[in-house]
Amino acid sequence: PAAPARPEAAGPNQHARIAQEIDARQRWGDPQAHIPEGERVQLSDRSSEASSSRDRPLRVLAVTLNCGDAPLKAVELRAFLRHGRVARRGGTRDVLADVVAVTLQEVKISSLFARVDRLIEAHLSQHERVPNACIAHLQARMFLLVFRRRDVAVSDATHGRVITGGLVKGACCAALTCAIADRSYRLAFIGCHLVTGMLERLNDALRKILDAFQSLLSSEAVVFTFGDLDYRIHTTYDDALKDADAWATVVRLTTERSVPRLAALDGLTRQPQVNIDACGLAAFWTPALSFLPTFKCIKGVAGLRYNRKRVPSYTDRVLFRPGSTTDVTCVAHENAPAVTSSD
C-alpha cells in the first residue's frame, strides 16, 4: 500500500486496536527509505500460518484502552482483545498474534487492580505474559503488559522506570527480542498517558518520554508509542468551520460519517512538519482512520454517543517506528464501540 502522509491520523481514543505485521523483507513505502536498497527483498507468498514458516512475518497486536476510572469488565475484553487474534494480510481469516501488547490508563484503584494482568492473560488463553516486559504502576494508574504466543521464543526482555510529571500522567517502556523460524525481531513498546494542553506542551511531553527511554530504543527496534496522547480535534483548522460551535460541528460531521474531514481537524497530524521533527516523531507512522472519534462518549450506551463536555476527538493513538532493517505493514486498524464502560 501507499505510505500515509506523515504522521497520518492515528488510532481511536478510549478503545483502540491496531494489528501490525512486521516483516524484515516487505517494503511498503517511503517510511522505509532509510533501509539500504540491497536489503529490501520482496517477501515470497506463503500461505502457512505455522510459526515455523520461514518467511512468515511476526504479527503484533497493540491495544490501548483508557478505562476512565471504571472497572475493567471481563465481558468486554473480547471487544478489543479478540482472544489475541489479528487480521491476516489479504483478509481471508484471523490468525493468532505472536505478540500482544496492551497499555491501560486510568485503571480504577480497587482490590482488582493487582489482578488486571491475570484477567487479561486468562482471556489470551494461547499467550503468556513476558514478566520482564510487564509493568503496573499504582500511582500512575496504568499498565503496560506484553504477552507472547506460547511457541514464540523471547529473550532480552527488559523495562524502564515509570516516569510522571508535568503533562505526563504516566509513561513506561518495555523491550524484548522475539524469534520465529530463523529470524529475530527487536520490539519496544512505550505506553503513554498525557494531560491535554497547548500543542507545544504536548509535543514537549512526548519529547521528554522518548528521550527518557532512548536506551531501550535501539535503531534496529520496531517501536510502538501508544496510549492516551490527548491531542484534540480543532475546527479552527478549517476556515469554513472555525466560527461555528465546535461540539455541534464535529458531531454533525460524525453523523455524516465524514472521517476524512474529521481527520483533517486532528491536532497531532495538522501541525507543521517542523513540530513533528522537534518532538521526535519524524520517524513514526500511523495508519489511516476508517472510523469515528471515540472520545468523549457517554458511558453505558452502545455505539458512539458523544458527551457535551468535550469536542469528540481521536485522543488515544497508536504510532509505530520501523526498525533500521525491519518494515511494518498495518493489516487492520479498528476501534471497539462495544466497550461501553469507558468514555
What pLDDT, in 10s, does the model give residues 286-343? 878 788 998 888 888 877 888 888 999 989 889 999 999 899 988 888 888 788 777 7
210 contacts 217 by C-beta, under 8 angstroms: yes
pLDDT of residue 335: 85
Lowest model confidence (mean pLDDT) among 33-37, 71-75, 90-94: 33-37
Lowest model confidence (mean pLDDT) among 22-26, 76-80, 147-151: 22-26
Beta strand residue intervals within the chain, DSSP E: 15-23, 58-66, 85-87, 94-96, 99-105, 127-129, 135-137, 142-149, 153-159, 163-165, 168-180, 183-194, 222-228, 316-321, 327-335
Tens digits of residue pLDDT in 132-155: 999 999 889 999 999 999 999 999
Cα 88 from Cα 313, distance rounded (Å): 29
Instruction: Tell whether the model's pLDDT for residue 97 goes beyond 90.
Output: yes
Cα 306 from Cα 283, distance rounded (Å): 33
Instruction: Tell whether the model's pLDDT for residue 10 goes beyond 80.
Output: no
Region of residue 280 (phi > 0: left; psi between -120 and 50: alpha; otherwise: beta): left
Percent of the chain with pLDDT over 70: 83
Task: For residue 139, give Cα distances in angstroms to 164, 172, 237.
Answer: 9, 13, 36
pLDDT of residue 54: 54
Residues 64-91, mean pLDDT to the nearest whole number: 82
Amino acid at 84: G
Cα 75 from Cα 72, distance rounded (Å): 9
Instruction: Tell whether the model's pLDDT for residue 94 goes beyond 60.
Output: yes
Looking at per-residue pLDDT, the higher value among 4 and 292 belongs to: 292
Confidence of residue 38 (pLDDT cuts 50, 70, 90): very low
Hey, what's the cell of 262? 474529521
Instruction: Tell whether the model's pLDDT for residue 180 goes beyond 90.
Output: no
Confidence of residue 93 (pLDDT cuts 50, 70, 90): confident
What residue has cell string 521533527? 277
pLDDT of residue 198: 87
For the chain, the average pLDDT equals 81
Count CB atoms within 10 A of the CB of residue 51. Answer: 18
- Provide the CB-side half-sphere exposure for 137 (13 A, CA): 24
pLDDT of residue 42: 28
pLDDT of residue 55: 67
Instruction: Tell whether the model's pLDDT for residue 28 goes beyond 80.
Output: no
